[in-house]
Structure 1
Amino acid sequence: MIRQLQIWGMRVLMIGLIIYVGHRWGMPLYRQYFAPKKTTIYVPTAPVREGPFVVSFHDLGALKAERSVAVSSEIEAKIIYLAPEGSMVKPGDKLVEFDTTELQRRVRERELALSNAEAEVRRAKAELEILMEENKTRIAQAKATLQFNEAERDAAKEQRDSKVKLANDKLIPKTEAEQAEINLRAKELQVEKGKMDLTLQEKDAQSKESQKMADVRTKEFARDMARIDLEEAQRHLKRAVLTAPAAGMVVLSKIYTPEGRRKVKEGDTPWRRMTLLTLPDLRSMQVEVAVGESDAPKLYVGMPTLIRLEAVRNKVYHGVITDISSLATEQDPWEGGATPGKKNFDVTVQIKESDPKTLKPGMTADVEFIVRRIEKALYVPIEAVIERNGQTYVFVKEGKNWRRTPVKTGAYNDNFVCILRGLRKGDLVALRDPTKPLEQQEAGSTAPGAEKPRDEKTTSPIPVPTGK
């Protein structure tokens, strides 16, 4: 009997020990490795809000100065110094310096060319003076010969008259009178020949002098051109150093190269009249924005805008549209990020605030174009609205469950959409489809819970409303 009691006691002790060990270590291991796990799927939510709503859209642009002074190259030479971009300069500060080796050689060549041209002018004038003296001498000789022949003719005429009278009086033979007549005719021919020779000499002198004068004028013109070339070379040499015409910040221009479009740098050889840099007036700034064709009809001159800088995220500037291009243009393919075939309208936005210390040319600006304002509207995050199979609905939280609620949407912007019917202020809506796995919603869907491809119609976004 005692033996049986001992055996049953040992059995009870072993059973108790097994129960204790199982409770102490077995249950935790079972829960950790074998028991089915209960998972809770997190669904982000947002309340339905009521208040002012801004219908707007965003586009990125770049800042530029409303007024700026361009600094251009007057020569073609290599740049050996260039003021750093972004540096502030005062009037008279050096901006650009060119290599003058070629310019100095050009000046020396043109000085020599001018000296040779002046020597040619002096030689041509000296030859003209000699020619004029020679012509004067020849003409004087021709006149003297003519005068002598005229005197000889007059003497022969008197002699003929005398002999004719004596021959009529039978005092001399008639043959002597005839001979005197022949001598007179010979003298008259010499006079006529002398007159023709004098006329020829005068015309020849006039022709040669005219030719020589033309040669002098040609030489003088060549000298004047050589002087102009020298003055131009000297002027270019003086312009080998460009100084600031006004105070401002240095903004380097972009040039096209085989490697792409880039800023001007030292070592470049710009062409004449090329703008190397600008000195913008930072007191009045603008934003240049390329707006797509779909949004362009919403724009008008005078439209208000809000401007946020990527570099200064905690500050909002106010602007107004001052100009809209009449024609759409395709973005320059040299510009990074250009979409082939996409047409944009160039829009200029004037910034109302003046902030020279912050606003700098080239800064990226996010421009919010205010299309219209709604004084009072219900709105939800655009991610909450699902559009599928021609139906638009949201999921409203009711305790631990979700109720699919059809809605009618209205105006929207980049982040919110107005609800015209179907929701009340304060309703809590899901920001994704709680009935679908998260992985399925992220696999190329156009909206939370959407299963259709991207090219099907979905609610399009546009900006955050100013009023909450």
Structure 2
Amino acid sequence: MCALLAGSGLGVGVWFSRGRDATADERASRSVRVQKERFVRSLLVSGELAAVRAVRITAPPFRGRGPFGIKGLAPEGSHVEPGDLLCQIDNSSLVSTLLTEDLNLEKAENDLVKKEAELEVQIKDLEIQLGQNKLELDKAKLKADIEKSLLSLRDWQDYQFAFQKAKKEYEKTTKSLELANKAAREEVALLRLKREQTAGRIAQLKADIEALEIRADRPGTVLYEIFPPSRWNGEVPRKMQVGDQIFWGWTILSLPDLREMEVRAFVSEVDGGALRPGLRSRIVADSYPGAEFGGTLDHIPELAERLGKATNVRVFTATIKLDRTDPKIMRPGMSVRAEIILDEEEGLVLPRRAVFEENGKFYVRSAQGVKTEVQVRARNSVSCLVEGLAEGTEVKI
């Protein structure tokens, strides 16, 4: 993943001899002169662009056992405005429950209306009965109030008995009416509570269904997040996709702020010790190889992490702060190559092909064919920083 460069090619000094005869031209085409130049040691790494700031969109709390499936996603890279649909989480089970609760609410309302009608009839009958009892009581009282001396003993006793009987009937009906009213209030209250509870569940279900339609609250560009590695996906990190089963709180996607980007550079564990904050970098996006951006190494984590659960490769995810961001071409997740400048110095530089190795030692061959030992202080894919030669020495390549 990472290639350590001891130079970036800036330190290669190549001058061909300018003789006019054919022999000199042929010799120049196969030789170079050692020149003192600025030699740069660097580390070439791969990475990706990321937004410095982003709004993360997470799955809402589910009122039920998870997981829930992703039914739809806004296309990655698409621009959204406030109110646009970002993610549709499968709501089929909630919709089914809502239909059942709608039927329950209709039944609860019908039961309430029916019970109120029944109780109204029952209480009306008792009120009529109470009126009749009151009339009988008043009539009996009139007779019971007649002077005893004006009646025979038998009639007076009959009137007193009739009055007590009418009074008991009146009190009995009054008590029945009180109990009926109390029972009616309790039964109606219970049915109303049942209706309200059902209506509350319906309101909550509607809110839950609406919450499963995740909409943007600000403008932005859609970027899918990584689906957590697990036994369901072979423990291989990948981005979220339609059909994934998710739990509440999982991050589904994000809306990055494209005005300020940074580079997440993946540095192999063996090269991490060479890094330090403040190192300058040159960044090239794979999609736009002609555009180069500068940056500064901003953060190196203390611990390397496994690149994935399926591999033992460990990397440091370093952060490179860009000098500037170009929203026209830069997008989060875009792959880049970064050359981190480790250090630089003045020295004698030769192309790598001018230096050869024998038995652990390094040599060059002069234009006359004489083999000369040199010390290679550093090298990269194109250049070597050498000692043991005089500046301007011509060597074969």
Same fold (TM over 0.5): yes
CA distance in 2, matches of 1:235, 1:44: 78
1:107 aligns with 2:116: no
Residues 349-428 of structure 1 mapped to structure 2, 5 A cutoff: 349-374=320-345, 376-398=346-368, 402-425=369-392, 427-428=394-395
| Cα separation, partners in 2 of 1:311 and 1:115, compared to 1, 3 Å | same
| Cα separation, partners in 2 of 1:228 and 1:392, compared to 1, 3 Å | farther
Residues 277-316 of structure 1 mapped to structure 2, 5 A cutoff: 277-316=253-292
Counterpart contact for 2:363–2:371, Cα < 8 Å: yes
1:320 to 275, 285, 296: 296
Counterpart contact for 2:31–2:394, Cα < 8 Å: no
User: What letter corresponds to residue 54 of structure 2 in structure 1?
Assistant: S
1:250 aligns with 2:222: yes
Q: Which has the higher helix share?
A: 1
Aligned to 2:93, the other structure's residue is in SS state helix
User: What letter corresponds to residue 44 of structure 2 in structure 1?
Assistant: H
**1:357 shift after superposition:** 0.9
| Cα separation, partners in 2 of 1:280 and 1:235, compared to 1, 3 Å | same
Residues 3-14 of structure 1 mapped to structure 2, 5 A cutoff: none
| Cα separation, partners in 2 of 1:369 and 1:224, compared to 1, 3 Å | farther
CA distance in 2, matches of 1:223, 1:56: 73
1:56 aligns with 2:39: no
Q: Please report the TM-score for the alignment, with normalisation by the length of structure 2.
A: 0.62
**1:47 shift after superposition:** 4.4
Counterpart contact for 1:378–1:425, Cα < 8 Å: no
Q: Which has the higher strand share?
A: 2
**1:60 shift after superposition:** 0.8
For residues 365-419 of structure 1, give each alpha carbon's deviation from its aligned partner in whole angstroms, at most 9, with x where no partner exists: 1111111121x32111233322322321122333xxx321211122334432211
CA distance in 1, matches of 2:319, 2:244: 32
2:155 counterpart residue number: none
| Cα separation, partners in 2 of 1:116 and 1:428, compared to 1, 3 Å | farther
1:236 aligns with 2:208: yes
2:71 to 69, 74, 80: 80
Aligned to 1:314, the other structure's residue is in SS state strand
Aligned to 1:102, the other structure's residue is in SS state helix
Structure 2's unaligned 5+ residue stretches are 1-25, 116-188
| Cα separation, partners in 2 of 1:87 and 1:408, compared to 1, 3 Å | same
CA distance in 1, matches of 2:237, 2:375: 49
Counterpart contact for 2:223–2:255, Cα < 8 Å: yes
Q: RMSD over aligned Cα, in angstroms?
A: 3.4
1:176 counterpart residue number: none
2:127 counterpart residue number: none
Q: Greater RCO between the two (CA within 8 Å, min separation 6)? A: 2
Counterpart contact for 2:354–2:395, Cα < 8 Å: no
| Cα separation, partners in 2 of 1:226 and 1:50, compared to 1, 3 Å | farther
**1:353 shift after superposition:** 0.9
**1:267 shift after superposition:** 3.2
| Cα separation, partners in 2 of 1:44 and 1:264, compared to 1, 3 Å | farther
Aligned residue pairs, count: 286
CA distance in 1, matches of 2:233, 2:220: 31
User: What letter corresponds to residue 373 of structure 2 in structure 1?
Assistant: P
Counterpart contact for 1:68–1:281, Cα < 8 Å: yes
| Cα separation, partners in 2 of 1:237 and 1:352, compared to 1, 3 Å | same
Residues 17-96 of structure 1 mapped to structure 2, 5 A cutoff: 46-74=32-60, 75=62, 77-96=68-87
CA distance in 2, matches of 1:421, 1:67: 52
**1:425 shift after superposition:** 2.9
Aligned to 1:297, the other structure's residue is in SS state helix
1:343 to 314, 327, 331: 314
User: What letter corresponds to residue 94 of structure 1 in structure 2?
Assistant: L
Counterpart contact for 1:91–1:246, Cα < 8 Å: yes
CA distance in 1, matches of 2:238, 2:273: 33
User: What letter corresponds to residue 207 of structure 2 in structure 1?
Assistant: R
Percentage identity across paired residues of the two chains: 27
1:272 aligns with 2:243: no
CA distance in 2, matches of 1:253, 1:409: 46
CA distance in 1, matches of 2:336, 2:344: 22
For residues 83-112 of structure 1, give each alpha carbon's deviation from its aligned partner in whole angstroms, at most 9, with x where no partner exists: 111112222222222443322222344567
Aligned to 2:205, the other structure's residue is in SS state helix
CA distance in 2, matches of 1:116, 1:297: 72
Structure 1's unaligned 5+ residue stretches are 1-39, 124-215, 431-468
| Cα separation, partners in 2 of 1:406 and 1:101, compared to 1, 3 Å | same
| Cα separation, partners in 2 of 1:258 and 1:426, compared to 1, 3 Å | same
User: What letter corresponds to residue 314 of structure 1 in structure 2?
Assistant: G
Aligned to 1:316, the other structure's residue is in SS state strand
CA distance in 2, matches of 1:320, 1:293: 20
**1:233 shift after superposition:** 2.1
**1:231 shift after superposition:** 4.2
Moved more, 384-393 or 304-313: 384-393
Aligned to 1:332, the other structure's residue is in SS state coil
